[in-house]
Chains A and B, each alone.
Chain A
Amino acid sequence: MQKNMSTLEKSIMAIITMSKDKVGGGAPIFVVDTEEEVQRTARLFESVLGGMLHKVNETTYVVVRH
């Protein structure tokens, strides 16, 4: 992404998960119920934050800005 967009580089900007008990830490965590909800939330985050969604495992996704 463009360098002038933020000061954060290569950082996890948000965590979207369906299993709340498996995640924790500094990044904002969004707990959702369904796969569709993951996709909907992530699409918004990709556009707004300029980060990219990566699938960590079946229930957890992270938004990372590269």
Chain B
Amino acid sequence: MEDYVLPVSLGILFGFIGRVALLRTDYRQYPTQPHGSIIHLAMGIIAAALGSIAIPALLEGEFTAVTFLTLAAQQFREVRNMERETLSKIDEVELVSRGRVYIEGIAMVFEGRNYLVILIAFVTTLASQFVNWWVGVIVGIAGILFALYYKTGKKIAHIADIEPAEVLVEGENVTVNDIYIMNVGLKESLELISKQAIGIILKPKTVDSVVTLSNPGQRQAILHDLSVGLGIFRDSDKPSLVPLSRRDLEDGRVAIFFLPQIKSMEQAVKVVAEVPVLENAVRIPSESEASQA
């Protein structure tokens, strides 16, 4: 039994370090501090332990022990459900909601990262068991780097050009440059809009990004992140100040209409650039057979 102490400890250690490295709370404050993070760190330890214990279990011929991994998968799917449920509940009372697609994306990431932790712990223990401890350390570090590389998805800046635009109020019609946004009847709101609103136009870079940007979930995610990054100039009894996104049907440009608390175009462009491209919104029509014809 003592033969396994070092490899297993190394596996758990590197798995846990991997989870810490993958758990980053930024300005969006998710996972929440401190308890939201504690939940995921605790889950990370469990995942790391599962990954590293699989090796001794196999070596001892305890093949049934491996079936515990399926139990783990079940457990981490539960993590995904938990995140989805919490976020959906919170979303109902947000001034600018995250939207379902964003929530699914976040929940999926939490589940996926636990599997990455299992993988790091597994390869670390494997290497230190069969070669020696310092090879295990190297493999562990490599595993964490791999996970860090793998975690970074695409950002809006990768798929679209972000251009500042003007919000124009003509009579009751509100437009961002040439893209029509909405009809506002209340004069008071129109005045607030011409004073406080900012407009941004996203020009998709490729055929594929036209489709991705058209996804309402993706656009809602942009609006939500803007409301977090700049604050929102609105209360729940002011429906006419709601932020909106509209597409130009001809060329797929997307106009963002938004009333921020901090009116800074520079900051707004930066926030939009950093919005993640949601996995569930990505479509690649250029790779379909129909487009090759």
Which residues does A use to contact B, with CB under 8 Å?
Answer: 1-4, 38-39, 42-43, 46-48, 50-55, 61-62, 65-66
Contacts and interface: CB of A to CB of B under 8 A. Distances in A.
B236 interface: yes
Contact of B239 (A1, A38, A55, A62): A1
A64 to B, nearest CB: 9
B35 interface: no
Interface residues on chain B, size class: 10 to 19
A8 B127 CA distance: 61
Nearest to A60: B185
Contacts of B185: 38, 42, 52-55, 61-62
B186 A46 contact: yes
Interface of B: 92-93, 171-172, 183-189, 236-240, 242
Contacts of B242: 1, 52, 66
Contacts of A61: 185
10 contacts: A1-B242, A2-B93, A39-B187, A43-B188, A52-B186, A52-B242, A53-B186, A54-B184, A54-B185, A61-B185
Contacts of B189: 46, 53
Given A3-B92, A4-B92, A54 B183 contact: yes
A39 B92 contact: no
A55 B189 CA distance: 13
A50 B236 contact: yes
